[in-house]
Structure 1
């Protein structure tokens, strides 16, 4: 074929009769530009949030005489005293205690529900149980807090000594809130398991429970742990529901039924009563910075677990 004959055809494909790009080419360029703009905007927003919180949260350590050791290891929080104290250890303890307790309660329930929906009763689980569990994710936090205050706290008050508010009440409320996250991630992990593995196990004479306990769970364990870590991260950042049932006392409790406080609860309770730029206000931003760093650590753990799944 003559090259001089193919050149005009190529030009006709690249441009129309008026020397312009075809319509689909322009649409592709517009779409690519829109996507790049959204990505850049998202990056700018994330870095702006991190910079704003870090700049406010580091001010007490840089110019207002508060030490990092005092905030992370101190036991007394009295910002309005003649000698202000900013010990945040009780809030760190309360956040970790309620989040871990919620994970201990919700993880077995969520994983067992996922096993039931995928391995035992897949049709019933997919059509009835899974939508019911996912509906819990759409319930507002204030509703969980109100139910906890109306049901969980009186029940604990009648069963255990004390007022009913405390880490146990907060852990129970949070466990219900993170149950959809753990169940959904576990269900997706179990359904992504190749069917040939289970069929091979059944062909070798293994029972259903032997296949689940010795093959399915060990194989999908990193993905199951990813759901648990995401649930802990969700519980760690919850504010309103925990604030309503934990008691908000700035000390380390000696039992699960005593009042406590979390990072989120002390921030939401105190931020509106402080003046912007004051030492107390900046100390609360320091707590927000600690909360942000813990969130990044949870995301880092999730990434490690996902990488382990890919390499498995």
Structure 2
């Protein structure tokens, strides 16, 4: 009887936790949509079709297309920069590093993942940003500097996730490949990676999700210009940077205030898409 009560209590706690989590998610969406409606009604399609983001003008301009494009550019370029290097680091740790070496490197990577993003941004802003004007680049904060900061911020989590996926592959598959004469690197890249593909793809999705939601690095290193950069050394501004820099100064319940909630709603939609993709990949890997 005592065991049954314990079991029912655990189930009740699990149900309550699930209900609270789902309610919180729907609550966030409801609040964002509610606060976004004034800007959507007042500005309309111009919110997503115009590049003119000048909210302090009179009348204000609230076109955030460039901010959305910049967020996507940063996410795509950052993921393309981080994932291949993370993958080869994970391959090395999985198949070529000794047990002691693997433990040391993995611990260092985990320590790096614990460094606050503001510290990473501050270091690059202090020591790397002043170098750009000296080599003929007009903007000391730009897309390239933001990508470098995002690289050091996200490479630990990407490497660990890919490594865990590779380590979960049964050794028998690799031993069978080696018995047929395949070289170790070919085995890890062809056999192990294919077997761990859902986990690797999940790592890519989570890395992209981490980048699209990052704020302080792109705020301090991106340059803060609401324009689509034509080259890597141009300044830019993302949705997260706009929210972080402008929300404290926006008059409450103004159109500017509401437009920033629209930016937040777009970010949550992006994040939800990434999360749903991640869940689908994980379910596929369990089959």
Please indicate the TM-score interval, normalised by the length of the shorter structure. Answer: over 0.9
- The residue number in structure 1 matching 2:168 is 192
Tell me if 1:121 matches 2:60: no
| Stretches of structure 2 lacking an aligned partner (at least 5 in a row) | none
- The residue number in structure 2 matching 1:270 is 246
Tell me if 1:88 matches 2:67: no
Q: Are residues 39 and 305 of structure 1, via their aligned partners in 2, closer, same or farther at CA, if it must alter by over 3 Å? A: closer
Q: Deviations over 1:68-88 (max 9, x none)?
A: 3x1112111122323322111
Pick from 43, 58, 62: which aligns with 1:66? Answer: 43
Pick from 202, 222, 229: which aligns with 1:246? Answer: 222
Please give the TM-score of this superposition, normalised by the length of structure 1: 0.86
Compare relative contact order (CA 8 Å, sep 6+) and give the higher one, 1 or 2: 2
Q: Deviations over 1:98-144 (max 9, x none)?
A: 22222122112211111111111151343101111111221112101
- The residue number in structure 2 matching 1:55 is 34
1:275: Cα distance to partner? 1.8
1:308: Cα distance to partner? 4.0
Is this contact kept in 1: 2:40–2:47, CA < 8 A?
Answer: no
Tell me if 1:221 matches 2:197: yes
Q: Deviations over 1:223-281 (max 9, x none)?
A: 21221221111011111121111110111222111111010001111111112211110
Q: Which runs of 4+ in 1 moved over 6 A?
A: none
Tell me if 1:29 matches 2:8: yes
Please give the TM-score of this superposition, normalised by the length of structure 2: 0.93
1:199: Cα distance to partner? 0.7
Moved more, 106-115 or 258-267: 106-115
Paired residues, number? 287
Tell me if 1:289 matches 2:268: no
Is this contact kept in 2: 1:116–1:122, CA < 8 A?
Answer: no
Alignment of 1:129-168 (within 5 A): 129-159=105-135, 161-168=137-144
What is the Cα-based RMSD across aligned positions, in Å? 1.8
| Stretches of structure 1 lacking an aligned partner (at least 5 in a row) | 1-21
